[in-house]
Amino acid sequence: MNNIVAIVGRPNVGKSTFFNRLIQRREAIVDSVSGVTRDRNYGKSEWNGKEFSVIDTGGYIKGSDDIFEAEIRRQVELAIDEADVIIFLVDVEEGITPMDDEVAKLLRKVTKPVLLAVNKVDNSMREKDALEFYNLGLGDYYTIAGMSGSGTGDLMDALVKLLPEAVAPDENAVALPRFAVVGRPNAGKSSIINALIGEDRYIVTDIAGTTRDAIDTTYNRFGFEFNLVDTAGIRRKAKVKEDLEFYSVMRSVRAIEHSDIIILVIDATRGFEGQDQSIFWLAEKNRKGVVILVNKWDLVEKDTMSTRDYERKIREELQPFTDVPILFVSAINKQRLLKGLETAVEIFENRKQRIATSKLNETMLPIIEAMPPPALKGKYVKIKFCMQLPTPTPQFVFFCNMPQYVKEPYKRFLENKMREIYNFSGVPIDIYFRQK
């Protein structure tokens, strides 16, 4: 399970700079996802072989300076609820402020590990100034300079020691595929899951899921067994009920990272909104299979073109990854829900298919010969051979004389051709060019 690290602190202490350093500026970075909320608040990082997700809670602050105090408190409460380790960032230039005291007061009560990081310490004078932060009552601190990165190594070493150890999987257990039902609040995720499993005799067990709240239900149907991950029923804390956006994003982040197939539920009456798009791109970045269920279709005024127009609009938003099944369903009428599950099962099969090297070359090389990559500066790219890599998701490598001259449009051309020939519906594909 991926651990979550939250960075908290009052505004302008350098949270975003430190966050960007964690998720972007090292070779070991795995991925960063933009647009999960309005700002870039979520990314993945790795240190000493340990991978973790980083949340910059700062981006969740809304409103003007005079209400910052209440916002800060809420932001820290969210971090305490969701994260495995908390980094509390303070600013040596300004010393301890009343707001820092407030945050420290909240953090002193938590049982989770808290690391105090004093930012903007870039000379020995400031090292002395940092001593003042012992007064926050959080024990030792780490001095860092987010801009230059000095001191962050020691902080990261301490951080990864605090991350919970991954539980070794039971070797005898059969790893069932995991299908996560995700979407924005009120899209009807619970109704869909209840309709599928409510009065259903096929349920085998309920297992506590990978987070404290998400529930895995083993579902046995169509001669196919999988775990259905319900992210909908997670309790909403009374204190933070207005932070629905934060919670739905956090649920989606966790569920997406630990699932194979994502069933994205959208509300037909609201359309394909920004948050739906963010969740979709999060799934795509994590190379998961995706099926989109447009729920509450029974509530939409229809004419003969409705589904086609609606589908076209969604596909425009999904470009360039448009090879995604879109189904119009109704949880209330149980309309096409089983078709949605069958489609998810098909995508799971698509995602793990292997194409024999001989067959791949047989189909792709004639296409490449008929339509080679465009010449660049008088140089011609010759693609000689291709193969599928032995990775969990579909990745292909094409060997050629000058890989640096193959541009994005040609990659897309090859991807589209492969999608026409082989069924990769709902599955992201990676294509690489390498020198033979």
Quick check: 206 pLDDT over 60?
Answer: no
The angle subtended at Cα 347 by Cα 342 and Cα 348, nearest 5°, is 95
- Is 310 part of any known ligand binding site? no
Q: What is the pLDDT of residue 232?
A: 54
- Is 329 part of any known ligand binding site? no
Domain shared by 348 and 363, yes or no: no
> Which amino acid is located at 171 in the chain?
E
- Is 84 part of any known ligand binding site? no
pLDDT digits (tens, 9 = 90+) for 27-52: 222 333 333 333 336 677 888 888 88
Angle, to 10 degrees, between the axis of helix 337-351 and the axis of helix 189-197?
90
Least confident of 298-302, 353-357, 382-386: 298-302
Q: Is residue 290 part of a domain?
A: yes
CB of 261 within 8 A of CB of 177?
yes
- Of residues 266 and 240, which shows the higher confidence score? 266
- Is 47 part of any known ligand binding site? no
Burial class (CB in 10 A: 0-12, 13-18, 19+), 408: exposed
- Is 267 part of any known ligand binding site? no
- Is 12 part of any known ligand binding site? yes
In angstroms, what CA-CA distances link 230 with 88, 127, 192, 208, 306? 31, 48, 10, 11, 30
Q: Is residue 387 part of a domain?
A: yes
- Is 135 part of any known ligand binding site? no
What are residue 104's phi and psi, to 5 degrees? -60, -40
- Is 120 part of any known ligand binding site? yes
Q: Is residue 206 part of a domain?
A: yes
Contacts of 1 (CB under 8 A, 6+ apart): 166, 167, 210, 211, 258
Domain shared by 208 and 330, yes or no: yes
pLDDT digits (tens, 9 = 90+) for 346-364: 999 999 999 999 999 999 9
Confidence category of residue 414, pLDDT binned at 50, 70, 90: very high
CA distance 203 to 175: 17
- Is 186 part of any known ligand binding site? yes
- Is 184 part of any known ligand binding site? yes
- Is 375 part of any known ligand binding site? no
Domain shared by 249 and 341, yes or no: yes
- Is 48 part of any known ligand binding site? no
Domain tally, the chain = 3
CATH number, domain with residue 322? 3.40.50.300
Domain shared by 153 and 187, yes or no: no
CB of 29 within 8 A of CB of 46?
yes
Domain shared by 158 and 200, yes or no: no
In angstroms, what CA-CA distances link 310 with 28, 133, 273, 303? 41, 56, 13, 11
Domain shared by 53 and 108, yes or no: yes
Burial class (CB in 10 A: 0-12, 13-18, 19+), 362: exposed
Angle, to 10 degrees, between the axis of helix 244-257 and the axis of helix 274-285?
20
CA distance 210 to 326: 28
CATH number, domain with residue 372? 3.30.300.20
- Is 59 part of any known ligand binding site? yes
Q: Is residue 173 part of a domain?
A: no
What are residue 322's phi and psi, to 5 degrees? -105, -5
- Is 9 part of any known ligand binding site? yes
Domain shared by 364 and 298, yes or no: no
**Dihedral sign of CA atoms 412, 366, 402, 399 in order:** positive
Quick check: 328 pLDDT over 50?
Answer: yes
In angstroms, what CA-CA distances link 19 with 25, 41, 105, 143, 367? 10, 8, 23, 16, 44
Q: Is residue 170 part of a domain?
A: no
Domain shared by 370 and 227, yes or no: no
Nearest to 88 by CA among 177, 185, 7: 7
Strand 85-91 and strand 114-119: the pairing is parallel
- Is 189 part of any known ligand binding site? yes
What are residue 190's phi and psi, to 5 degrees? -60, -45
**Dihedral sign of CA atoms 256, 258, 261, 263 in order:** negative
Domain shared by 134 and 53, yes or no: yes
Mean pLDDT for 12-23 is 81
Domain shared by 198 and 140, yes or no: no
Q: What is the pLDDT of residue 181?
A: 87
- Is 100 part of any known ligand binding site? no
Domain shared by 330 and 361, yes or no: no
Domain shared by 15 and 150, yes or no: yes
CA distance 139 to 332: 54
- Is 233 part of any known ligand binding site? yes
CB of 430 within 8 A of CB of 394?
yes
SS3 227: strand
Among the candidates 301, 324, 352, a domain finishes at: 352
Among the candidates 129, 162, 195, a domain finishes at: 162
- Is 295 part of any known ligand binding site? yes
- Is 16 part of any known ligand binding site? yes
Mean pLDDT for 120-128 is 87
pLDDT digits (tens, 9 = 90+) for 44-78: 788 888 888 887 776 444 444 555 566 667 767 77
Among the candidates 294, 327, 352, a domain finishes at: 352
Nearest to 429 by CA among 258, 290, 272: 290
Domain that holds residue 128: 3-162
pTM of the entire structure?
Answer: 0.63
Quick check: 155 pLDDT over 70?
Answer: yes
Mean pLDDT for 394-421 is 92
- Is 2 part of any known ligand binding site? no
Q: Is residue 101 part of a domain?
A: yes
Q: Is residue 272 part of a domain?
A: yes
**Dihedral sign of CA atoms 79, 84, 86, 87 in order:** negative
Q: Is residue 167 part of a domain?
A: no
- Is 234 part of any known ligand binding site? yes
Instruction: Report residue 70 as tokens.
Output: 């209440």
Quick check: 213 pLDDT over 70?
Answer: no
- Is 95 part of any known ligand binding site? no
Give start and end residues of each alpha helix (H) in 371-427. Answer: 408-421
What percentage of the chain has pLDDT greater than the value 90? 29
pLDDT digits (tens, 9 = 90+) for 132-148: 999 999 989 999 988 78
- Is 175 part of any known ligand binding site? no
Nearest to 180 by CA among 291, 323, 295, 329: 291
- Is 297 part of any known ligand binding site? yes
- Is 63 part of any known ligand binding site? no
- Is 330 part of any known ligand binding site? no
Q: What is the pLDDT of residue 110?
A: 86
